[in-house]
Structure 1
Amino acid sequence: MERPSVVFGEQASAGMLRGAGQLADLLGLTLGPAQGHVLLAKDGGSERFERLTDGATLARRIIALPGATEDVGAMLLRQLAWRMRQRVGDGSATAAVLAQAMLNEGRRFMAAGANPMLLRKGMELATHAAVQAIQAMAEPLTGPERMAALATAACGDPELGKIVGEIYDTLGPEGIVNIQEFIGPYLDREYIEGSRFRGTFTSRFFLTDEKHRLIQLVRPFIFISDWNLSSVAQVQPLLELVVRQGEGRPLLVVSASQDGAGLSALLANHQKGVLQCAGVTLRGVGDDLRAALDDLALLTGGRFIYREAAFDPKDLTLADLGQAERVEVDEDYVTIFQGAGDRKAVRRRVLALRGQLGQAQEMDEAEKVRERLGRLGSGIAILKIGAVTPNERERRRAQAEEAVRVVAAGYRGGVVPGGGAAFLAAIPAARAVPAEGDVALGVAIIARALEEPTRRIAANAGVEPSVALARARAAGPACALEVHTGQVADMRSAGILDSSTVCATALEMATSMAAMVLITGAIVLHRKPELSVEP
């Protein structure tokens, strides 16, 4: 058995810093409207090179660096970039350059004898103050122009940004956006009826699209219950009914839980091709879960079969099952397209819920009612994107997903001046944190790192970073370099916006990653580390 090796002290930290710095330099090229394109050489095939402009996708393509200690630092930064993509949809490059600046400053102080644990404490205190300052300057996201500006800042494509802005202006904050790919240059949108529920599949073996981790069912029958399906006797009558009378249509099973022999029976029928089916559970417990299941039954024209009804599965008929034109299930949501429910009944429930909202005494109660209204009252936009090659389609899809997530986050948390201006405006709050000694040096690390997005955007535009920074500070809060004109401008007036949620999350996650690297005293290196495409 091969033994791992251990690298200590300066050798470990210096190697991690070099690796993280290499990847951060690469991701930093994608920051700002004058972003550089990165060409990735591939091993073979008809498409020898892939053009990348998205930081998270670029990080995902880098699965290892040659040096073992450098690889550790690079993979930590890679994980940071991908987690940003998963959590808020944008900000991967911003988080990377923030983390790199923190690491460079931290290593400089540590070389002079600073205590890394005290540096971390100062970094965390200053980050908390800066995040509060960023959140305090947030304004509500309103109007199609501002939504389009935010989407364009996220994806770098004005035409795509305009359509995403129009979609959210039309559907509102609870609107659902479904992205479809087409072969050939194409960009359009379509609005249809639909709803989205928080939930997920019960087994990855139900997936029909493993690349995007999706289940897609066309014209399925939908069984809806709060049963715990764990035995063959519970699901066999349902399976036999749909196989016998369902005309080859798929089956979606929605219940409180699915395991044991019950789940095995669903999987066996699905994998053997007897009946395409999928098992799903919705988020929530108790009354919240029952309300979601009841809403789903109403939207799809099915029957909510609850435990207390003492219903015998053998008595099921097709009339008890809901229906929809299409259903998509991913790791977070169950999306229903054009359910077969009674529209008048849906409108009556919406009116009843609006009455409950007006009478709600507690914030939590009101939020739950709003969630139900969003499920019942919002529509779905089909965002249609296309390109000639598979790589280009994947890139366009990534752009669209990023724009959609960022606008949704902007709706929830508001927007702040873009172009790095929000980070610059948060520096005074960070510097005002009371601290002494090495803790004060940790505060200084964050204050310096908050300049880095502005510096990197200027560098990518061919402007001297220190000059752009000085001009932005002289112009006042909310000002930064407007790359297209080469002048410093008020970012809000110029329509250049960022999601406050994205900015705050990037700073918090960058601080967490940088602090972990700075306090690391040793690395255990395996001789043959496992490589993974997933960060």
Structure 2
Amino acid sequence: MSSRYRPSILFQPAAHLHFQRGARRMVAALRPTLGPLPRRVLVMPERGVGHAPELLDSGGLIARRMVQLADARADPGAMYVRHMVWRLHEEVGDGTVTAAVLFEELFDQGLRFVVAGCDPGRLRSQLVAGAELVCAELARQTTPLAGLAQIARAAESVGADTELATLLGEVFDIIGADGQLDIRPYQRPGVSREYVEGMVYAGGVLSRLMYTDAVRQRVELEHAALLLSDLAVDDPRDLVPAMEAALALGMRALVVIVDHLSDAALGLLDVNRRAGTLHTFAVRPPGLAPAEQVAALDDIAILTGGRPLYRTAGASLRAVTAADLGQARRAWADTAHFGLAGGKGDPRALRARIAMLRRAYAATTDAAAQQRLQQRLGRLMGGMATVLVGGATETEIALRKGLAQRTAGTLRGALRTGVLPGGGSALLACRPAMRAARRSSRLRDERAACDIWLHALEAPARAIAVNAGYDPGTATGRYADLPPGHGLEVQSGRILDMARAGILDSAAVMAAAVRTAAHAAALALTINAQVYRAMPETSIEP
């Protein structure tokens, strides 16, 4: 085996020191992006000459681009922080740099106590307990987020882009926490938005013969019945019961949602369309996996009052009756999407489905599952917004689109769980409770954890001030004895009530950052040896 791939081992104190050096390098790359006056990080692509560098202001993306340090002994510490930051980015979308700054302070201060004789295992449990105390204090400070102006201010706290924040404030004031939102690049300067009524799914019309507007490649039907199924239609006679049922209901339009239509079945629909008997269009069930298709058909059925016919249940299209058909005031489709508005389903059943999906969203921590549930909720809420994000260059467009996506995720969480005074002031306001916990404790490890947290709670506010050009010592002095909720407004240099000034943070994001940093730092303090390779296998997946 080549010496480059042969593992080496570091023991204490070298293991902690090299781990600390790597972690600090990673955090140093992320820290400048924190606050309302952030700096960006230039990342050169691995593909070499001829490819434009990236300008990034997202802690998660910056960390993901750093796949290995040249210093093999420091690399494990950097990759440990990278893993923590990327997982938080995947789960929450924001708060990554706050977590990184907290991690560094918790680990650095904790290491001092471990070297002085504290047991790492006991200190770990006390640091995690301290995180729960901080989160309880954050919950006490949380207030609801409501109104266009406040939502826009919360959006601006995520990134210093007033134009984008103002537009997202309007959008989320209209669609709410669960609304359906699509963010797209816009090949011109500025930002814009469009609103679409009803639910929208990916998946276009099955045949160009069905267009009512050949120029726009679009079909629109008013007062349509809907056949909902994942069955394939090979025999055109399978469609006759649904067509007769639609006519019996007095409907002159039918939307056919099936897995497949044969040419003969398409011909039957086209003949009736040309005769003016029944206007139709057909689309496939939304989604790729069978479970996604079932979920989509169930939701459409709730919205429109229909009954889905499933292959797995042994359903037959020959047995369709009027009671099986859904109804909608308007249905449309183009080459890539189809949508419904004004569904005639039972409002009580719709409210029950929305409540069920919200409970499922709250009960899961899986980011992919949350995204699927969010999309279902957005469609059932009855409207969609499209935000078009532009800029002067492709790099600026990509940067602003990423910011818009992070801001949207943060606003959803803030609308659900509330907001905190921003600028690090909410963490500063947790210090009195931490001091009280230290005074009441008789355990050495518990007091040590409180001391560690008292240092860490100042770290995000101090980093924001330093990024804005303030001297670290001056910034720390100004944070000494602030009233609750007050902080340094770095653009004016004044101490303000942050909530009144409109400087807000998402409560959900802040709590996630605190817990993530505490668990990661507390676990890292228990490391006793480090195994590393000079040339480890490279992976972009943390």
- Secondary structure of the 2:39 match is coil
Compared with structure 1, are the counterparts of its residues 180 and 113 closer, same or farther at alpha carbon in structure 2 (3 Å cutoff)? same
CA contact (8 A) 2:307 2:326 kept: yes
Letter in 1 for 2:27: A
Cα shift readout 1:416-453 (whole Å, capped 9, x = no counterpart):
00000000011222333335112321222122111100
The partner residue of 2:289 within 274, 279, 291 is 279
Partner of 2:459: 452
Q: What are the equivalent positions in structure 2 for 1:245-284 lying under 5 Å apart?
A: 252-253=284-285, 278-282=288-292
Partner of 2:339: 339
Shift, 1:68, TM fit:
1.9
Partner of 2:254: none
- Secondary structure of the 1:68 match is coil
Shift, 1:194, TM fit:
4.0
Letter in 2 for 1:241: L
d(CA) in 2 for partners of 1:177, 1:402: 13
Compared with structure 1, are the counterparts of its residues 30 and 372 closer, same or farther at alpha carbon in structure 2 (3 Å cutoff)? closer
- Secondary structure of the 1:56 match is helix
Larger CA deviation: 523-532 vs 505-514: 523-532
Larger CA deviation: 303-312 vs 390-399: 303-312
d(CA) in 1 for partners of 2:534, 2:266: 55
Letter in 2 for 1:29: P
Partner of 1:217: 203
Alignment pair present for 1:10 and 2:13: yes
Shift, 1:56, TM fit:
1.6
The partner residue of 2:476 within 463, 469, 475 is 469
Gap runs ≥5 in structure 1: 198-215, 228-237, 255-276, 284-288, 329-336
d(CA) in 2 for partners of 1:62, 1:489: 37
CA contact (8 A) 1:253 1:279 kept: no
The partner residue of 1:350 within 334, 347, 350 is 347
Compared with structure 1, are the counterparts of its residues 240 and 37 closer, same or farther at alpha carbon in structure 2 (3 Å cutoff)? closer
CA contact (8 A) 1:127 1:511 kept: yes
CA contact (8 A) 1:32 1:419 kept: yes
Letter in 2 for 1:139: T
Shift, 1:98, TM fit:
0.4
d(CA) in 1 for partners of 2:200, 2:79: 34
Compared with structure 1, are the counterparts of its residues 526 and 326 closer, same or farther at alpha carbon in structure 2 (3 Å cutoff)? farther
Partner of 1:173: 177
Identical columns (%): 34
Shift, 1:79, TM fit:
1.6
d(CA) in 2 for partners of 1:223, 1:19: 59
Shift, 1:116, TM fit:
1.1
Letter in 2 for 1:525: Y
Larger CA deviation: 26-35 vs 388-397: 388-397
CA contact (8 A) 1:122 1:435 kept: no
d(CA) in 2 for partners of 1:6, 1:87: 33
Letter in 1 for 2:89: R
The partner residue of 2:187 within 183, 190, 202 is 183
Shift, 1:395, TM fit:
1.3
Letter in 2 for 1:281: A
Cα shift readout 1:432-478 (whole Å, capped 9, x = no counterpart):
33351123212221221111001111111121234333334434110
CA contact (8 A) 1:423 1:450 kept: yes
Larger CA deviation: 374-383 vs 52-61: 374-383
Q: What are the equivalent positions in structure 2 for 1:301-312 lying under 5 Å apart?
A: 304-306=308-310, 310-312=314-316
d(CA) in 2 for partners of 1:152, 1:71: 35
d(CA) in 2 for partners of 1:327, 1:422: 49
Larger CA deviation: 64-73 vs 433-442: 433-442
Q: What are the equivalent positions in structure 2 for 1:355-374 lying under 5 Å apart?
A: none
Partner of 1:33: 36
Q: What are the equivalent positions in structure 2 for 1:15-414 lying under 5 Å apart?
A: 15-42=18-45, 44=48, 46=50, 48-195=52-199, 217-219=203-205, 241=261, 252-253=284-285, 278-282=288-292, 293-297=297-301, 299=303, 304-306=308-310, 310-312=314-316, 325=333, 339-340=339-340, 343-346=342-345, 349-350=346-347, 353=350, 375-414=379-418
- Secondary structure of the 2:288 match is strand
Could you tell me the TM-score, scaled by structure 1's length? 0.76
Gap runs ≥5 in structure 2: 208-225, 232-257, 268-280, 364-373
CA contact (8 A) 1:88 1:502 kept: yes
CA contact (8 A) 1:253 1:280 kept: no
Compared with structure 1, are the counterparts of its residues 44 and 448 closer, same or farther at alpha carbon in structure 2 (3 Å cutoff)? same
Alignment pair present for 1:514 and 2:521: yes
d(CA) in 2 for partners of 1:224, 1:508: 45
CA contact (8 A) 2:123 2:445 kept: yes
CA contact (8 A) 1:419 1:497 kept: yes
Shift, 1:224, TM fit:
5.8
Shift, 1:242, TM fit:
5.4
Compared with structure 1, are the counterparts of its residues 239 and 314 closer, same or farther at alpha carbon in structure 2 (3 Å cutoff)? farther
Compared with structure 1, are the counterparts of its residues 473 and 89 closer, same or farther at alpha carbon in structure 2 (3 Å cutoff)? same
Compared with structure 1, are the counterparts of its residues 430 and 351 closer, same or farther at alpha carbon in structure 2 (3 Å cutoff)? same
- Secondary structure of the 1:29 match is helix
Partner of 2:512: 505
CA contact (8 A) 2:198 2:340 kept: no
Partner of 1:422: 426
Letter in 1 for 2:105: A
Compared with structure 1, are the counterparts of its residues 458 and 246 closer, same or farther at alpha carbon in structure 2 (3 Å cutoff)? farther
CA contact (8 A) 2:180 2:375 kept: no
Shift, 1:147, TM fit:
0.6
The partner residue of 1:483 within 482, 486, 490 is 490
- Secondary structure of the 1:135 match is helix
- Secondary structure of the 1:469 match is helix
d(CA) in 2 for partners of 1:183, 1:371: 26
CA contact (8 A) 2:33 2:97 kept: yes
Shift, 1:59, TM fit:
1.2
Could you tell me the TM-score, scaled by structure 2's length? 0.75
d(CA) in 1 for partners of 2:298, 2:432: 51
- Secondary structure of the 1:512 match is helix
CA contact (8 A) 1:220 1:324 kept: no
